Amino acid sequence: MNDSQIVQLYWDRDERAIPATDEVYGAYCYTIAHNILQSPQDSEECVNDTYLHTWNAIPPQRPRSLSAFLGRITRNLALKVFHRDRAQKRGGAGLDLVYEELSECISSREQVEQALEERELTAALNDFLAALPLKKRKLFVRRYWYADSISDIAARMDMSESSVSVALHRLRQDLRAFLAERGFAV
């Protein structure tokens, strides 16, 4: 079943939309959740919640890319669980590393620039990514969108782990410079 057929099931309020989504995108969503949460149980729950949110969101929405739509919901839900867990001092250690690395791109983890609109920041990130070569772009997105581990990225892109680490380090430096150039306080 293709994406448009699955989306149509949601629009028809056809309950087969849920198992169809699970069949095509269950593993995809689970991987995203697991990369952030590092917990099979929490990840499974996160995927179930993704289906519920999708059921409630379509209609009225009709996503252009169902995979990105589902992945974004999963990621956001996983982040909520992650922050809840971190507040309770348990679990979710995987994302701490990602946060630590990204902190190099800004001046302080605690500093909050209220004036920054997330939309502007996202637009800048889109420009930054669009200017990157394909391989570097995938590298960045796999690490900082999918929260893949360094070893997973190395295996996926046929690189050594040290090469991945070095490449990501340079990308973070480039992003920091790019954001500074765009007027963001970093």
Partner 1 sequence: MNVQQLFEAIGSIDDRFIDEAASDAIPHLKWKIAAVAAAAAAVITGTVLYSNAMLNRPTSTPQDLSAPIITVAPNDPTETAQPGADPSSPVYITPEQGGDQTTSPAQPTPNQPYNPGVSGWGSAGLPGLPGSGGSGSGIPGSGMGIPLPGIGGWNGSGGSDPGTVTTPAPTSTPTARIHYIGRYSHSAAGDFLIFCEPHGVPVLTKNITGQIVDGHYAATVYGFPFGQSRYVELQVYDDGSYDLSVS
Q: Which two tokens stand for residue 2?
A: 């293709």
- State the nearest-atom distance from the C-beta of 166 to partner 1, in Å: 19
Q: Which two tokens stand for residue 110?
A: 């605690």
- State the nearest-atom distance from the C-beta of 10 to partner 1, in Å: 12
Q: Which is nearer to partner 1, 120 or 162 (CB)?
A: 120
What whole-number distance in Å separates Cα of residue 162 and Cα of residue 150? 9
- State the nearest-atom distance from the C-beta of 50 to partner 1, in Å: 10
Q: Which two tokens stand for residue 185?
A: 């306080």
What whole-number distance in Å separates Cα of residue 14 and Cα of residue 29? 21
Q: Which is nearer to partner 1, 60 or 118 (CB)?
A: 118
Closest CA to 46 of 76, 16, 89: 76
What whole-number distance in Å separates Cα of residue 68 and Cα of residue 61? 13
- State the nearest-atom distance from the C-beta of 109 to partner 1, in Å: 5
- State the nearest-atom distance from the C-beta of 33 to partner 1, in Å: 11
Distant-in-sequence, close-in-space partners of 25: CB < 8 Å, separation ≥ 6: 66, 67, 70
At which residue do the structure tokens 């954001």 appear? 179
> For residue 111, with 0-12 CB atoms within 10 Å meaning exposed, 13-18 middle and 19 or more buried, which class applies?
exposed
